[in-house]
Structure 1
Amino acid sequence: MDRILITGAAGFIGSHLCDRFVNKGFHVTGMDNLITGDMRNIEHLLPLENFEFQHHDVTEFVHVPGKLDYILHFASPASPIDYLKIPIQTLKVSSLGIHNLLGLAKDKKARILIASTSEVYGDPLVHPQSEEYYGNVNTISPRGVYDEAKRFQESMTMAYHRFHGVETRIARIFNTYGPRMRLNDGRVIPAFIGQALRGEDLTVFGDGSQTRSFCYIDDQVEGIYRLLLSDYTGPVNIGNPEEISIKEFAEEVIKLTGTGQKIVYRPLPQDDPMQRQPDISRAKKVLGWEPQVSRSEGMQKTYAYFKNLPPGELNKKEHKDFSSHIKR
C-alpha cells in the first residue's frame, strides 16, 4: 500500500484530496494545525484503517515514521481574510514549512507536489495566464504575504529538485469552489452565497468588471491527482478557463438562490487582480486533463451544500472535540 502525507488535510481542498487517496487505496496521513482547517471536513475518515491524523504545524520539524511515497503540501491560509489576519504564519508555512517537507521528501525518497496558486501571476499584464508568464506582483502590499510566499515556495521546490534530485510537482491552482468551503473566509463564492442566504445584499468590490475563472472541486482534485502521478516537473495551471466578471457572477448567484438581493459596491482592495483566466494548454497536453463540471452544475451542488448547513452555521461554526483521534 502506497503511503501519502497530505498537509492542510482538514482544509477545503486538502480534505477532498484525503477522500480521493483513501478511496484509491493509499494509506493517508493527514496533517493540519487547524489554524484555518476544520476537523469536521475529515470526521468521516477518522474510523478508517488507512487514514490517520496528526495535529501538527509543518513550520516545526515534521516526522512521519516508516516509508513514505508521496507528499502533498496544501497547508496554507488561502483566503484574503485568513492571510491578512495571520500574515506571518502565511509566510512561514511556505518557507519554513516547505523547507521541512522537502527535507522529508529527500530523506524518504518521496515525490512531493506543492499547492501553488494563480496569485503568483499577481495583477497580470498577460491574458490568459500561461505557466511561462513571470507575473506582476507587488512584494510589499498586504497581499504580498501570500503571493510572495507561494513564489518562494516554487523556487525552493525547484532548488531541491535541481540540487538534491527530489521528485517534485507544482500545481498552480486557480479559483476553486465546492462543498466544505467556509462561508466566512472572504472568497467570492461562499461570500455571495452566505449573503444571499442571510438576506443581505451582495457586496461587489470595485465596479465588478474584474474577472475570475471558477473550477469545481472534483475537477481540481482530478487534475492534482493526475499531476502527482505524471512525469512532469514544471508548474502546471489547474483551473477552469471559463471566465466571468464578478458583477455577472453576482447576478448568477442571485438568480440561483432566488433571493432577489441587490448588488452593492465597495472600494476595490489594493492590488486585487483585474483578470484571472488560466491557459490550460499544458494540463491538456501532459495530463490529458480539462474541467468536466460546468459552472451551472457546480454552483447548484455548492448552493445545496450551504443551504443544508445546520441552523446557526451561517454566522458561526461549532467545534467538536476530536482529541481522542489526534496524534500529537
Structure 2
Amino acid sequence: MAQQILVTGGAGFLGSHLIERLLDRGDYVLCVDNFFTGTRRNVEHLMDHRHFELMRHDVCFPLYVEVDQIYNLACPASPIHYQHDPVQTTKTSVHGAINMLGLAKRVRAKILQASTSEVYGDPAIHPQVESYWGNVNPIGIRSCYDEGKRCAETLFFDYHRQHKLNIKVVRIFNTYGPRMHPQDGRVVSNFIIQALQGQDITIFGEGLQTRSFCYRDDLVEGMIRMMDTPDAITGPINIGNPGEFTIRALAEQIIELTGSKSKLAFRPLPSDDPMQRQPDISQAEALLGWKPTVPLREGLVKTIDYFEKLLKEEPLH
C-alpha cells in the first residue's frame, strides 16, 4: 500500500536519490528543503511526477502536514557548509529534530533520523560499533555538527521512551555519488573536481588518515530497509562501506581514473579531523540483511562522469 512520506532535506544529494526510490515503488512524497545546501536541480526532473510535491521550508520552524513516514535528512553535512553558520547548523539538528518528532507524535508517523558517523568523533576504537559512545570535542570547530547530531539522537530516543514514538536511527558513514555538491569540501568531490580541472590535489596531513566510502545507491537501500524493519528495531545502526582506504590512495585512484596530470599537494591537518573512520556493519547485516555491493572503483567512475557533465554545463569559478 502506498505511503505518504515526508523527506526533509529532500533536495540534497542523498535526499533526492531517496525520493526517486520511494516514488519508483509507488509512494507519495513531500520533499521539504530550504535550499541552504540542497538545490532545485536535484529534483527538477521529478516536478511533473504526480506523486511528488516540493515545499520550501526550514525545519527549524514547525510543519503541519499529514504523513505516514518521515525521513529526517535536513542538515548541512560537509565541514565547509556546516562551519559556515555553526549556530544555524546546531539549530537545524536540534530544533529540526524537535519539530519533526513533534509532527511524528501528532500524526503517529514512523520517523527515521539520518545521523552520522561523526557522533563517534575521533574514535578510540576501530572499527566503530554502535555501542561505542564516541570521543567528541564539544567545543571545537566541528562540534556544531557532531554534537548537534548527538543531541538529535538523544531526542529521538527520549521521544521513543516517553511518547512510545516509532523511531529509526541510522548512522551514515562517508557517502559519495552523483549529485554531490561540487563545492562541499568533501574529499571525493574535492579530489574529482581538482583532477578534472588539472589542479593540485589537496591532501591534509600525509594522507594516511583512512575513510570508508559508500556509494549512494547502497546507502539509500540501507535507509529504506531500516525504515521497513519491525517497530522493535530502533537502532542506531551503522550504514556504510567497511572497505577502508587512505586518503592518499583515494587521490591516486581518482588521478588514474580521470587521466589527470594533477600532482599531490600536502597541507597541515585541520583541527579535530579524525584519523580513522570505518563502520562495523554486523548489525546492518544481521537486522537489515544489508551490505554494500558497489565497489569503490565502479562508484568513482559514475561520480566522475557526473562531475564531467556538470563542469561542462556550469564551469566553476
- Residue equivalent to 1:207: 206
- For 1:227, give the aligned amino acid: M
- Residue equivalent to 2:300: 299
**Aligned mates of 1:314, 1:135 — CA distance in 2:** 40
- Residue equivalent to 1:18: 19
Secondary structure at the residue paired with 1:4? strand
Secondary structure at the residue paired with 2:98? helix
Secondary structure at the residue paired with 2:312? coil
Contact persistence 1:73–1:115 (CA under 8 A): yes
> TM-score, normalised to structure 2's length?
0.98
Secondary structure at the residue paired with 1:146? helix
Number of aligned residue pairs: give it: 314
Contact persistence 1:198–1:314 (CA under 8 A): no
Is 1:249 equivalent to 2:250 in the alignment?
yes
User: CA offset at residue 86 of structure 1?
Assistant: 1.3
**Aligned mates of 1:237, 1:289 — CA distance in 2:** 11
- Residue equivalent to 1:163: 162
- For 1:302, give the aligned amino acid: T
User: CA offset at residue 63 of structure 1?
Assistant: 1.3
- Residue equivalent to 1:139: 138
Gaps of 5+ in 2: none
User: CA offset at residue 314 of structure 1?
Assistant: 4.0
After superposition, the C-alpha distances for 1:17-62 in whole angstroms (9 at most, x for unaligned) are: 1101111111000000001110000001111110001100010111
Is 1:218 equivalent to 2:196 in the alignment?
no
Cα RMSD (Å) of the superposition?
A: 0.9
User: CA offset at residue 183 of structure 1?
Assistant: 1.2
User: CA offset at residue 312 of structure 1?
Assistant: 5.8
Identical-residue share of aligned pairs (%): 54
Gaps of 5+ in 1: 317-328
Contact persistence 1:194–1:314 (CA under 8 A): no
User: CA offset at residue 234 of structure 1?
Assistant: 1.9
User: CA offset at residue 310 of structure 1?
Assistant: 4.9
User: CA offset at residue 187 of structure 1?
Assistant: 0.1
- Residue equivalent to 1:320: none
- Please list every run of at least 4 consecutive aligned residues from structure 1 whose deviation after the TM superposition is greater than 3 angstroms: none
**Aligned mates of 2:140, 2:31 — CA distance in 1:** 33
- For 2:83, give the aligned amino acid: L
Secondary structure at the residue paired with 1:207? coil
Secondary structure at the residue paired with 1:185? coil
- Residue equivalent to 2:61: 60
Contact persistence 1:211–1:246 (CA under 8 A): yes
- For 1:268, give the aligned amino acid: L
User: CA offset at residue 308 of structure 1?
Assistant: 1.4
- For 1:69, give the aligned amino acid: D
Secondary structure at the residue paired with 1:95? helix
User: CA offset at residue 227 of structure 1?
Assistant: 0.3
Secondary structure at the residue paired with 1:93? helix
Secondary structure at the residue paired with 2:261? coil
**Aligned mates of 1:24, 1:163 — CA distance in 2:** 33
Secondary structure at the residue paired with 2:5? strand
